[in-house]
């Protein structure tokens, strides 16, 4: 593993400049096209409020990720659990929100703890899908910190699914992305899910199955390329969710950073 010498990592703010006035006019036209009387005194300021609200949802301050030398050689999990986040579904422009659990196995540098929450906030400040948001947080940590392992779990309720369409009230979507040791080592993976408070995912997420020559078995991969785990879904009785306890302490860490795919659970 190669430690990066930088003491801080920078993420440039995304997106073009914001034109609030143009957004206000567009919001007024949008509401009028849907039959809403924006000339009514109670709705006169609604287009401007809409424009400011979405501008706030789509903006985040520039991110500076402060890191520190891992002088003590700490090699156990660092996990920030239950980070609240909110973003907007890029398909319907309706909010979805929930909790993020972000952890990593340190290498040469440690990340300031608040920066794990800042990183989630940064990637959430744009139209998103939950699967991409999960991978963006995991991939950024892996690329910039070069740690032995990274794990990210997002649990969210999507208003585009609960307030319209199927109206599945109370349904939550769970996505995960595991990289490096947290993907390839079952004990480390189980420890991460247990500490994140979602031990049931340890039974859903697959082990890597490899051929004798070390290559991943394509037949196994096809079987778990996209796995689903149903949570609180009454329409599928008898689907076992299972549980799991924390893994043993003092897990031996394997080297390398295998880039696995995230898993989606609905």
CATH number of the CATH domain containing 149: 3.30.1130.10
Considering the domain architecture, whether residues 47 and 171 belong to the same structural domain is answered as no
Annotation says 160 is catalytic = yes
Length of the chain: 266
- Rounded to the nearest 10°, the torsion over CA 235, 97, 52, 14 is -120
Annotation says 158 is catalytic = yes
Does residue 6 form part of some domain?
no
Say if residues 142 and 150 touch (Cβ distance below 8 Å): yes
Label residue 234 by pLDDT band (50, 70, 90). Answer: very low
Domain enclosing residue 87, as ranges: 63-210+227-265
Annotation says 89 is catalytic = yes
Does residue 35 form part of some domain?
yes
Q: Who's near 209: CB < 8 A, 6+ residues apart?
A: 216, 217, 220, 221
Looking at residues 88-103, what average pLDDT do you find? 95
Considering the domain architecture, whether residues 168 and 44 belong to the same structural domain is answered as no
Does residue 193 form part of some domain?
yes
Considering the domain architecture, whether residues 206 and 124 belong to the same structural domain is answered as yes
- The HSE-up count of residue 96 (CA atoms within 13 Å, CB side) is 29
Catalytic residue, chosen from 101, 122, 128, 130, is: 130
Query: Is 56 a residue whose pLDDT tops 90?
Result: yes
Considering the domain architecture, whether residues 73 and 194 belong to the same structural domain is answered as yes
Q: What is the pLDDT of residues 180-200, one digit of tens each?
A: 999 999 999 999 999 999 877
Catalytic residue, chosen from 45, 76, 90, 216, is: 90
Considering the domain architecture, whether residues 51 and 95 belong to the same structural domain is answered as no
Considering the domain architecture, whether residues 85 and 34 belong to the same structural domain is answered as no
Query: Is 66 a residue whose pLDDT tops 80?
Result: yes
Does residue 101 form part of some domain?
yes
Q: Could you tell me the pTM of the whole model?
A: 0.71
The reported pLDDT for the residue numbered 6 is 44
Considering the domain architecture, whether residues 46 and 164 belong to the same structural domain is answered as no
Structural domain count, the chain: 2
Catalytic residue, chosen from 158, 191, 205, 229, is: 158
Considering the domain architecture, whether residues 44 and 91 belong to the same structural domain is answered as no
Considering the domain architecture, whether residues 26 and 108 belong to the same structural domain is answered as no
The reported pLDDT for the residue numbered 237 is 40
The reported pLDDT for the residue numbered 205 is 67
Annotation says 92 is catalytic = yes
Say if residues 181 and 105 touch (Cβ distance below 8 Å): yes
Q: Where are the alpha helices (DSSP H) in the chain?
A: 20-33, 46-57, 113-124, 130-145, 159-162, 181-184, 186-196, 201-204, 218-224
**Least confident among 26-40, 54-68, 90-104, 130-144:** 54-68
CA distance 152 to 81: 10
Catalytic residue, chosen from 10, 45, 76, 91, is: 91
Edge-to-edge order in the sheet of strand 109-111: 8-11, 63-69, 109-111
Does residue 127 form part of some domain?
yes
Considering the domain architecture, whether residues 132 and 259 belong to the same structural domain is answered as yes
Label residue 62 by pLDDT band (50, 70, 90). Answer: confident
Considering the domain architecture, whether residues 49 and 134 belong to the same structural domain is answered as no
Query: Is 239 a residue whose pLDDT tops 70?
Result: no
CA distance 133 to 177: 10
Residue in the block written with tokens 């973003």? 87
CA distance 176 to 152: 6
């Amino acid at each position: 593993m190669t430690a990066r010498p930088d003491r801080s990592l920078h993420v440039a703010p995304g997106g073009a400049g914001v034109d609030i006035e143009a957004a206000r006019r567009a919001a007024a036209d949008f509401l009028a096209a849907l039959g809403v009387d924006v000339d009514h005194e109670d709705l006169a300021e609604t287009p401007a409020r809409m424009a400011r609200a979405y501008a706030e949802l789509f903006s985040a301050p520039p991110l500076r990720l402060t890191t520190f030398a891992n002088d003590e050689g700490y090699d156990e999990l660092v996990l920030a659990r239950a980070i609240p986040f909110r973003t907007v579904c890029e398909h319907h422009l309706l909010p979805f929100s929930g909790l993020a659990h972000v952890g990593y196995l340190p290498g040469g540098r440690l990340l300031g703890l608040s920066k794990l929450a800042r990183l989630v906030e940064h990637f959430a400040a744009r139209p998103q899908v939950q699967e991409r948001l999960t991978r963006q947080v995991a991939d950024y940590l892996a690329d910039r910190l070069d740690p032995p392992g990274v794990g990210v779990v997002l649990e969210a309720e999507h208003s585009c699914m609960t307030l319209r369409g199927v109206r599945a009230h109370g349904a939550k979507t769970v996505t995960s992305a595991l990289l490096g040791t947290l993907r390839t080592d079952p004990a480390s993976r189980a420890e991460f899910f247990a500490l994140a408070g979602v031990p049931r995912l340890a039974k859903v997420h697959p082990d890597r199955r490899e051929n004798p020559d070390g290559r991943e078995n394509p037949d196994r991969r096809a079987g778990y390329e996209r796995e689903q785990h149903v949570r609180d879904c009454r329409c599928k009785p008898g689907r076992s969710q299972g549980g799991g306890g924390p893994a043993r302490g003092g897990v031996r860490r394997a080297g390398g950073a295998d880039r696995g795919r995230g898993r989606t659970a609905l």
